Structure 1
Amino acid sequence: MSELIRPRVLLDGLAYVESPRWHDGRLWFAHWGAGEIVAVDLDGRAEVVAAGPDGLGWSFDFLPDGRMLVTGERLLRHEPDGTVVPHADCGGAEIVVDGAGNAYVNGFAFDFLAGEAPSPGWIDLVRPDGEVRRVADGLRFPNGMVITPDGRTLLVAESFAGVLTAFDVDADGGLSGRRTWAEGLGPDGITLDAAGAVWTHAAKEPGATGGDVCVRVLDGEVTHRVPQEQFGFAAMLGGPDGRTLFVCDADWRGVEGVESALADRTGRILVADAPEPRAGWPGG
């Protein structure tokens, strides 16, 4: 039997909220529809810390030296003096950067919001020198990614397949040994804890009303559940001891209702106490 954890609201009145990262003592997140990156502390004090692309479908992460990479039509790098420069000729959506500065960027070649038929997605490896190499393909809407603390396994959410997929990370950064890590989910953005469990999202339980449910999955089993009133976009562990779970949610009205949902500012950051601290990458 899984344990139920009730969340509380840290910040609301947002558009769509994605790509949460615990960094430099605050939670940073992509504020889709507002074209900005926002940081919020544990008291709910928020500020815009950088500009992001217009529209939806982009994310960010940090290099080991603290510089930020932002996805979009090209992978851009934010320098300490505030300038923004190209990092690699690589377009994509979600990103995770490992401890050596290797960036894994995933993407897909269809317009989800326009209702185009899905086509397989991919993962590209971007080395610190900007070299780009495709390391995985055939993914069904790749979404959030994490890398284990030993750097040897990458997990990716395949949202349209309802599974978490694992890859071995080879010595040259390539991915091999593709396998199903957990199934029966509705995974989006994901985060990893020190026990090897992943926090992600799952379909509503039978008979449930209201919104989504964020779940902790260990060895294929759900151990904890965090109920939400709205659709879950992503989760991230952070806080001073890594045991604060941050959940991004908003009212998802389907592709035809995106503009109204953005205008109504239903996006929120929820927080809950987690049983284990964050591990691996995205890091702190």
Structure 2
Amino acid sequence: MARELTTLVTGGRFYEGPRWHDGQWWVSDFYRRAVYTVTPEGVETHQFDVEEQPSGMGWLPDGSLVVVSMKDRHLLRRGPDGVVEHYADLSAVAGGHLNDMVVDDRGRVYVGNFGFDLMGGDGMATASLARVDPDGTVTVVAEGLNFPNGSVITPDGTTLVVAETTGAGFVAFTIADDGSLVDRRVWGSMGEVPETTDVMEALGAGLPAPDGCTLDAEGHIWFADAIGARVARVAPGGEIAESVPMPEGLGAFACQLGGSDGRTLLICAAPDFFEHNRANAEEAVLLTMRVDVPHAGRP
């Protein structure tokens, strides 16, 4: 069936890390270097600045917000009192900018990184996934990931699924009681990735490039295809169940299910993801789309 896309907000630079929390949307804007809230009616409000570029975010059990600070490879914590402070330093374990993240029900943060300097033109390298415990301890829990990006945790809290943007698929882990990740397996493969260290060659192979993503109650994942200018719903195993193209001239880079009934998909869209194009242009938008199956799990 055809899906209707509605524009909620215009004038951003590059939206990422969308979340639904306490009756409103939360989003990062890379190049305005700030976190914003957006009401269901589209009223955007500046919340706080992240000078080293915000990305993924999530809430701890005490109500604090944790947000990625990409370029210095730190996590920041905004407490219930509104004070923003340093939370964890991941610079020793991240091979590139920090990226998206997810928080489990015990307040453990799982966060990925690029693995290489994407904007600087470095050759591709694999990346690690780190866990940050509530006391701020940083532990590498997985290695050898192909640009770990959007991540989800199943409703029972036992499975972490991570999008691999340059790996054309998703990898899953069982979350052990101590927070370690075991039983690594392919959750869904959408094609065989070419053997290359050239990121544009890899992304130009025509395979899906899953970016930000969100889990639904049937165990499918909606993901933004960073190369395919679409959002798609993928089943466990990798079969695409539904695909919705973006309006002409826009790509999709993150999405999240939310709204009062969990059936609104918020999409972060922009003409491209290149920093030199997006840093000063106010062409990013937030789109919404109604879906049939509601949100599940985290974030």
Fold conserved between structures, TM > 0.5: yes
Cα deviation digits, residues 242-268 of structure 1 (max 9, x gap): 11011111011x64xx33333221111
Please show how residues 193-272 of structure 1 align to structure 2 within 5 Å: 193-202=216-225, 212-219=229-236, 220-229=238-247, 230-252=250-272, 255=274, 258-272=275-289
| Structural mapping, 1:167-182, within 5 Å | 167-182=173-188
Q: Give the secondary structure class of the aligned counterpart of 1:34.
A: coil
2:161/2:171 contact within 8 Å kept: yes
Task: Quote how far apart the aligned CAs of 1:197 are.
Answer: 0.7
In the alignment, the residues of structure 1 paired with residue 138 and residue 277 of structure 2 have an alpha-carbon distance, to the nearest angstrom, of 37
Counterpart of 1:66 in structure 2 is 63
Percent identity of paired positions between Structure 1 and Structure 2: 38
Please name the residue that 2:86 is paired with. 86
Give the corresponding residue for 1:34. Answer: 32
Contact 1:202 1:213 in 2 (8 A): yes
Where does structure 2 lack aligned partners over 5 or more consecutive residues? Answer: 92-97, 191-207
Deviations 1:214-268 (Å, cap 9, x if unpaired)? 011123322222220211110100000111011111011x64xx33333221111
Match of 1:14 in 2: 12
In structure 1, how many angstroms separate the alpha carbons of the residues matched to 2:185 and 2:160? 11
2:292 — aligned with what? 275
Contact 2:211 2:225 in 1 (8 A): no
Pairing of 1:145-160 with structure 2 (within 5 A): 145-160=151-166
AA of the residue aligned to 2:14: Y
The structure showing larger relative contact order (alpha-carbon pairs under 8 Å, at least 6 residues apart) is 1
CA RMSD of aligned residues (A): 1.7
Unaligned stretches of 5+ residues in structure 1: 205-210
Q: How far apart, in 1, do the equivalents of 2:239 and 2:157 lie?
A: 23
Matched, 1:142 2:148: yes
Secondary structure in structure 1 of the residue aligned to 2:7: strand
Find the partner of 2:138 among 127, 132, 136.
132
Q: Residue 208 of structure 1 aligns with which residue? A: none
Output the CA distance in 2 between the equivalents of 1:58 and 1:201. 15
Of stretches 236-245 and 67-76 in structure 1, the one that deviates more from structure 2 is 67-76
Alignment-mate amino acid for residue 132 of structure 2: V
Report the CA distance between 1:126 and its aligned residue. Answer: 1.1
Do the aligned partners of 1:155 and 1:165 also contact (CA within 8 Å) in 2? Answer: yes
**Distance in 2 between residues matched to 1:225 and 1:265, nearest whole Å:** 27
In the other structure, the counterpart of 1:51 is: 49
Q: TM-score if structure 1 supplies the norm length?
A: 0.90
Asked if 2 retains the 8 angstrom alpha-carbon contact of 1:199 and 1:216, the reply is yes
The verdict on how the C-alpha distance between 1:133 and 1:261 changes in structure 2, with shifts beyond 3 A counting, is closer
Number of equivalences: 270
Asked whether the equivalents of residues 26 and 37 of structure 2 are also in contact (C-alpha less than 8 Å), the reply is yes
Superposed CA deviations along residues 17-44 of structure 1, whole A, max 9, x for unmatched, are 0000101111100011001111111111
Counterpart contact for 2:13–2:279, Cα < 8 Å: yes
Question: Aligned partners of 1:77, 1:148: CA distance in 2, in Å?
Answer: 24
Residue 203 of structure 1 deviates from its aligned partner by 7.6
* CA distance in structure 2 between the aligned counterparts of 1:13 and 1:54, rounded to whole angstroms: 21
